[in-house]
Chain A
């Protein structure tokens, strides 16, 4: 190598579009900087969609491999975050489909393995749930197809059209499921208040 490899600290300062340009040219360090920057939201989204921390990390890894391969197809390099989240959404849904095929006897979706800290603590279990705790519980009670729409909208910030593509349903179905999810959640949250 001539000169020093791209210093990670320096790359962490660069805007997305510049990192995308370098990564398209083959700079793996620039791609890793993008992964570090957007990894946490990808992981959070994949955890919500798959309901499993272990599966979520597999999904993030698959999504990053796909992103590296397809990076030159990204038309607007500034929009890389949304693009990574769309890939994360698709990979999560694929993961769920595969899991369903492999566990035909168990129709129930496994939920996040680790309950939130507050819930496992007997002392605070008696205390009133926080708003976000109550929302989590309400989300867990939603029908699976509504919850998927909700996550793709709220966590991945996808448009109705994009959600429709990810889930292979019509935009009108997305609109309906999302509305039903919100109505249910809003009612449950009013009761919680």
Chain B
């Protein structure tokens, strides 16, 4: 690149061309397309970009896989705080006692039963309504991903049934509705080899 003060003889600055490569925006694209100087500068920065991408990939590989010891040791140190959510009262056996279960525990229950439904897996799940008020009408919103090839409507119905059953068994919530939204269809139920990177 021959230039003085980072400005090409045609008047374009190298700053403009560098930004153009990042954003695709420049004040005079017609000039850039036709100007040999601009094209030469873009070629040069473009060759650099190829090498930059190569270095990035190389260093990500050198960083190791997410299933290696270094990540395990980081994860062991994390001590993630629990997310209990709201307190959900239960009718105590002895009057005067206070019994509650946490929203977080109920969401974990829902995940565990829906994950056991063949062909499905749960994402975000919400209890809508005032769960702290005994008898209040509660709506369950569950996001579900279904594996490719599974009958979506039937799987969604199984998920709904499982959620209804576990909430009936394990809570005193007054469930008004259970909405199951299929948000994704997943391929490859059984991976040939586990890979850390997506």
Contacts and interface: CB of A to CB of B under 8 A. Distances in A.
Contact of B64 (A10, A26, A43): A43
B109 to A, nearest CB: 6
Interface residue tally of chain A, by bracket?
Answer: 35 or more
B104 A14 contact: no
A57 to B, nearest CB: 6
A175 B66 CA distance: 33
A189 B48 contact: yes
A26 B6 contact: no
Contacts of A3: 112-113, 115-116
A115 to B, nearest CB: 12
Interface in A36-75: 36-41, 43-44, 47-48, 57, 60-61, 64-65, 68-69
A81 B198 CA distance: 10
Contact of B197 (A4, A37, A175): A37
A40 to B, nearest CB: 4
Interface stretch (A17-25, A89-97, A98-106, A119-127): A17-25
A25 B55 contact: no
Given A132-B58, A179-B14, A25 B125 contact: yes
Contact of B196 (A26, A37, A65): A37
Given A26-B108, A44-B56, A182 B51 contact: no
Q: Is the interface of A mostly helix, strand, loop or mixed?
A: helix
A1 B115 CA distance: 14
Contact of A16 (B67, B107, B113, B198): B198
A190 B1 contact: yes
A65 B78 contact: yes
Given A40-B64, A154-B53, 10 more contacts: A15-B186, A18-B121, A18-B184, A25-B108, A27-B111, A36-B66, A39-B63, A40-B61, A178-B22, A189-B47
Interface pairs A-B: 6 shortest CB-CB: A21-B124, A36-B66, A3-B112, A26-B83, A21-B123, A179-B18
Interface of A: 1-6, 9-10, 12-18, 20-22, 24-28, 31-32, 35-41, 43-44, 47-48, 57, 60-61, 64-65, 68-69, 81, 131-132, 135-136, 153-155, 160, 175-176, 178-180, 182-183, 185-187, 189-190
